[in-house]
Chain A
Amino acid sequence: AQSVAQPEDQVNVAEGNPLTVKCTYSVSGNPYLFWYVQYPNRGLQFLLKYITGDNLVKGSYGFEAEFNKSQTSFHLKKPSALVSDSALYFCAVRDMTDYKLSFGAGTTVTVRA
């Protein structure tokens, strides 16, 4: 079985400050990890993924994430947050043998001006 935990329901930061959204995962084999963002009443937009290779993954809109195998974490980061980054963020995991994605509960990010 595979699962994802996003320990924070909400993250609040000031514009220009660093943003971190936490994610830990559990899979039986090697993980495929993803971050998606959702704006109100919209579908999910893909931000970035980790499949293999460098532990630091760079994605869309200035976001990056670091894969840490020993801590089974895949935290999303952005060095300088924008008000437009305010949205709902989902971490997702899949193992190598299954097409199905397991999503975390989501973290609402609010960036104040």
Chain B
Amino acid sequence: GAVVSQHPSRVICKSGTSVKIECRSLDFQATTMFWYRQFPKQSLMLMATSNEGSKATYEQGVEKDKFLINHASLTLSTLTVTSAHPEDSSFYICSARLRETMNTEAFFGQGTRLTVV
């Protein structure tokens, strides 16, 4: 299957600082990537859809100014958590689709464990 690489896998930052998480499709081009947030022992919540060359589409209740998404190329999307606070501590996961057809599965990155202290 296709490989999606997410970096870093773990990050600890101080409250008030910003953290950038990268999501790369290693062997394919992805015009659309998705960012999820997962709380302990809970399901994945879609935060936003990242579109190459255009603005991201955020889900209801997700602060676009706090969670900045940039999809500058067909293989890279970044999520920046700005002015992070302890309540932003979570597991963040990205995914990408191999081809822009409806019947393909999404491939997921390894996830990033963010801890804000």
**Which residues in A have some Cβ–Cβ distance to B below 8 Å?**
32, 34, 36, 41-46, 49, 51-52, 90, 94, 96-97, 99-101, 103-106, 108
Contacts and interface: CB of A to CB of B under 8 A. Distances in A.
Interface stretch (B12-20, B42-50, B62-70, B74-82): B42-50
Interface of B: 1, 4, 6, 9, 32, 34, 41-44, 46, 49, 91, 93, 95, 97, 102-103, 105-111, 113
Contacts of A104: 43
B48 to A, nearest CB: 11
Contact of B102 (A36, A43, A96, A106): A96
Contact of A49 (B97, B105, B107): B105
B44 A90 contact: yes
A94 B9 CA distance: 28
Given A32-B102, A51-B103, A42 B110 contact: yes
A46 B107 contact: yes
Which secondary structure dominates chain A's binding surface?
Answer: loop
B111 A43 contact: yes
A17 B106 CA distance: 30
4 A-B pairs closest in CB distance = A43-B108, A44-B108, A51-B103, A43-B110
Contact of A99 (B4, B9, B97): B97
Given A34-B105, A42-B110, A106 B49 contact: no
| Most chain B Cβ neighbours within 10 Å, of A43, A44, A100, A103 | A43
Nearest to A52: B103
Contacts of B9: 41
